[in-house]
Chains A and B, each alone.
Chain A
Amino acid sequence: MLKIKNLHAGIEGQQILKGINLEVKAGEIHAIMGPNGSGKSTLASVLAGREEYEVTEGEVEFLGKNILDMAPEDRAREGLFLAFQYPVEIPGVSSNNFLKTAVNQVRTYRGLEPLDAVHFLKLMKEKMAMVEIEQKLINRSLNEGFSGGEKKKNEIFQMAILEPKLSILDETDSGLDIDALRVVANGVNKLKSEDNATIVVTHYQRLLDYIVPNFVHVLYNGRIVKSGDKSLAFELEEKGYDWIKEEVDSVA
């Protein structure tokens, strides 16, 4: 599904990603962990098409297509979804109008008829129930004045509505109370299928009790320096990152 080869990217001449290699197949869940500032969000942003980052080397293939030259909206329409670490507030844009526009532009791209008001409403209700999000949040401007947890929930709600092939969840668990965490994780699991895949970026092993990964990777200083199964997450939780940093720095 996703093939990242030797990806180098940076901003204003500063290298942040220094050769990322990663392959994600349909049906898999990958966790990416790593110390603050190691480049996890940058990787997510580059995949989603944020233009301020410059890709200097490498390739990214998604569902057989090179996506590096694609506009962010086209990547989304192809089935890529990024749940942001810090979702922005957009006062004056109604959540409802935003979602309807998004759904229908994605559908049009895929050669489907746009949803009419009735069917759109039905889709909304169904997904709202799935991620246990309240109508009163949807009635407000997009993310405006939402609490941290409400914003994260809203990301998962949008994911549920758009039904992406590949979801990248950037610290969606940070700042969630235990109930919200369970709801979010349940939502992700319900949406999981043999045809889609998920990358979860997290600092906490706790999330991985709910969303069980097939692989765990450690991103450090712009590279994936260690990969393993879910037991690696336990090891990191216990020992921190110093032992990995030492391993890497001694080789360098």
Chain B
Amino acid sequence: MAKAENLMVEQLKNNFKAFEARLNGISKNQWHQMRKEAIDAFTSNGFPGVKDEEYRYTPIGKAIEKNFDLSMLGIETPETGTFVPVFSKEHAIHIFIRNGKIDHENLNDISEAGVEVCSLKDALVQYPKEIESHLGKYANVHKDSFAALNMAFSNDGVFIKIPRNTQLEKPLIVHYITEGKGEEKIFQTRNLIIAEEGSNAKIIESYTNSDNIRQFSNHVTEIVVKANANFNFYKLQNQGNQAYHIDSTYISQLRDSTLQSYVLTLEGKIIRNNLNIILDGENCEAHMFGLYVIHEDSHIDNHTSVDHKAPNCYSNEVYKGILDNNSKGVFNGKVFVRQDAQKTNAYQSNKNILLTDTATINTKPQLEIWADDVSCSHGCTTGQLDEEQLFYLRSRGIGKSSARAMLLHAFVNDVLDKIEIDFLHDYFNSEMYNRLDWES
């Protein structure tokens, strides 16, 4: 890190001391040791700069240093509790994290639904075994500075355990809500989710910013999907145009498990998604779907990595984007197939439509294969709306904007249809239409 930034390092170290002091009592646990390791890692590595290959097209570190008062790191912001979610109550189990703090009030009702939920803080006491085996075991603080910053300063988040052989009927939504007054908000939320053997669940992380406040949210979720479990994980990102959001998900899959991951993005100033999946047992399946439909000067970066460590696993990734106005997209998809991972099937595709000359996309597949008996493919395409198709529809009396809508819908439809939760499917669909002003 450059000398000019030493000031920031000092500031952060002081923040960290003050933050730890405020934690009184619980500071001497295992979390504390990990925090110390993390702050050391962060202060020696700093925010990733443009020279960092992983952040080359997404200079989010710089943007955060420029736009946020980092002395607010580790200081809680009051929540107002005013935000009401768009999804109706009865369709799902709801958990609220308001301005980075979990809302304890409704947590008790939830346990009745067959799932164990508490704040991560409480989990340190209630679920020490799970915390010890999994917290911080997947998000490596030395490899990713945002993981380090999160580990150092996070103090709240949600712990979810889907017990053995439990089938959750309704999806569980974790609402991350930015709300209330003030110029800016900074959150470092952290979650741990454990899908026990043979369980089956759908979990949605939904992000909103109800007052369109400038926010720096650095979010880490670690997920363990145990043997023969079926886990569906949705992210819905719709945080207004002032959100600088780093969203890191680390998923470890054990044998015979199935994962469906969906990353659905509508708006943010800069959003960086890190989706890291490790297939750590035989016969796993990982399906990764992404849709980003963005406009104005939103910037969305999806970095995904699927690491085939065991034989006979299958991964399939389909990400599609529609970019309007001056929006920017970045896609980087890594697939690793380790030497032991024979009989791997791994597929990847990224397709984009740019609606203007000023929208851009950088897409890069990255396959590294050490096993020899594998079947892998990847492909990416970027294009405009097809003028001939558009003319064909219009020549039948269909207005220009309806015709555009039909074609764009046709483009995203195969991924959209993979969303197995009806209200989420419909919400994304209608937001997508509104966002791009497709109706005539």
Interface, chain A (partner B; CB < 8 A)? 48-52, 71-73, 75-77, 81-82, 84, 87-88, 90-93, 97-98, 101-103, 105-106, 109, 141, 158, 162
Write the chain A residue with the least CB distance to B399.
A73
Contact bitstring B402-415, A, C-beta under 8 A = 1, else 0: 11001101110110
Write the chain A residue with the least CB distance to B414.
A92
CA A73 to CA B393, docked complex, whole Å: 8
B105 within 8 A of A: no
What are the 3 tightest A-B residue pairs by CB atom distance, in nearest-first order? Answer: A92-B410, A76-B397, A106-B397
A73 contacts which chain B residues (CB < 8 A)?
Answer: 394-400, 403
CA A222 to CA B361, docked complex, whole Å: 42
- Residue contact A90 to B413, C-beta cutoff 8 Å: no
A88 contacts which chain B residues (CB < 8 A)?
Answer: 386, 388-389, 392
CA A247 to CA B105, docked complex, whole Å: 92
B391 within 8 A of A: yes
Contact of A72 among B395, B407, B410 (CB under 8 A): B395
B387 within 8 A of A: yes
CA A48 to CA B406, docked complex, whole Å: 20
- Residue contact B410 to A162, C-beta cutoff 8 Å: no
Write the chain B residue with the least CB distance to A82.
B395
- Residue contact B410 to A77, C-beta cutoff 8 Å: no
Given A88-B388, A90-B389, A105-B402, CB of A48 within 8 Å of CB of B395: yes
Write the chain B residue with the least CB distance to A161.
B396
- Residue contact B394 to A72, C-beta cutoff 8 Å: yes
Sampled A-B contacts (28; CB under 8 Å): A48-B391, A48-B395, A50-B391, A72-B391, A72-B395, A73-B398, A73-B399, A75-B395, A76-B395, A76-B396, A81-B395, A84-B392, A88-B388, A90-B389, A92-B410, A92-B411, A92-B413, A92-B414, A93-B409, A93-B410, A98-B393, A101-B402, A102-B393, A102-B397, A103-B397, A105-B397, A105-B402, A162-B397
CA A79 to CA B431, docked complex, whole Å: 34
Chain B count of residues within 8 A CB distance of the other chain: 23
CA A72 to CA B396, docked complex, whole Å: 8
B407 contacts which chain A residues (CB < 8 A)?
Answer: 90, 93
Q: Tell me the minimal C-beta distance from B385 to chain A in angstroms.
A: 11
- Residue contact A90 to B395, C-beta cutoff 8 Å: no
- Residue contact B395 to A101, C-beta cutoff 8 Å: no
A76 contacts which chain B residues (CB < 8 A)?
Answer: 394-397
CA A76 to CA B398, docked complex, whole Å: 8
- Residue contact B410 to A102, C-beta cutoff 8 Å: no
CA A108 to CA B309, docked complex, whole Å: 59
Write the chain A residue with the least CB distance to B386.
A88
Q: Tell me the minimal C-beta distance from A58 to chain B in angstroms.
A: 21
- Residue contact A102 to B398, C-beta cutoff 8 Å: yes
Given A90-B389, A92-B411, A92-B413, CB of A71 within 8 Å of CB of B406: no
Write the chain A residue with the least CB distance to B392.
A88
CA A204 to CA B394, docked complex, whole Å: 29
CA A82 to CA B414, docked complex, whole Å: 30
B402 contacts which chain A residues (CB < 8 A)?
Answer: 101, 105
CA A162 to CA B413, docked complex, whole Å: 27
A103 contacts which chain B residues (CB < 8 A)?
Answer: 397
Write the chain A residue with the least CB distance to B403.
A73
CA A75 to CA B402, docked complex, whole Å: 16
CA A49 to CA B402, docked complex, whole Å: 17
Write the chain A residue with the least CB distance to B440.
A105
CA A91 to CA B407, docked complex, whole Å: 9
B411 contacts which chain A residues (CB < 8 A)?
Answer: 92
**Within residues 360 to 395 of chain B, which ones have a CB less than 8 A from any CB in chain A?**
386-389, 391-395
- Residue contact A49 to B406, C-beta cutoff 8 Å: no
Q: Tell me the minimal C-beta distance from B396 to chain A in angstroms.
A: 4
Q: Tell me the minimal C-beta distance from B391 to chain A in angstroms.
A: 6
Contact of A101 among B388, B392, B406 (CB under 8 A): B406
- Residue contact B398 to A52, C-beta cutoff 8 Å: no
A52 contacts which chain B residues (CB < 8 A)?
Answer: 387
Q: Tell me the minimal C-beta distance from B305 to chain A in angstroms.
A: 29
A105 contacts which chain B residues (CB < 8 A)?
Answer: 397-399, 402
Given A52-B387, A105-B402, CB of A90 within 8 Å of CB of B393: yes
Contact of A98 among B386, B387, B388, B396 (CB under 8 A): B396
Q: Tell me the minimal C-beta distance from A120 to chain B in angstroms.
A: 15
CA A146 to CA B398, docked complex, whole Å: 22
Residue among A72, A75, A84, A98 having the largest count of chain B Cβ atoms under 10 Å: A72
Q: Tell me the minimal C-beta distance from A60 to chain B in angstroms.
A: 15
CA A91 to CA B386, docked complex, whole Å: 12
Residue among B388, B392, B413 having the largest count of chain A Cβ atoms under 10 Å: B392
CA A191 to CA B9, docked complex, whole Å: 80
CA A82 to CA B387, docked complex, whole Å: 16
Q: Tell me the minimal C-beta distance from B405 to chain A in angstroms.
A: 10
- Residue contact B395 to A49, C-beta cutoff 8 Å: yes
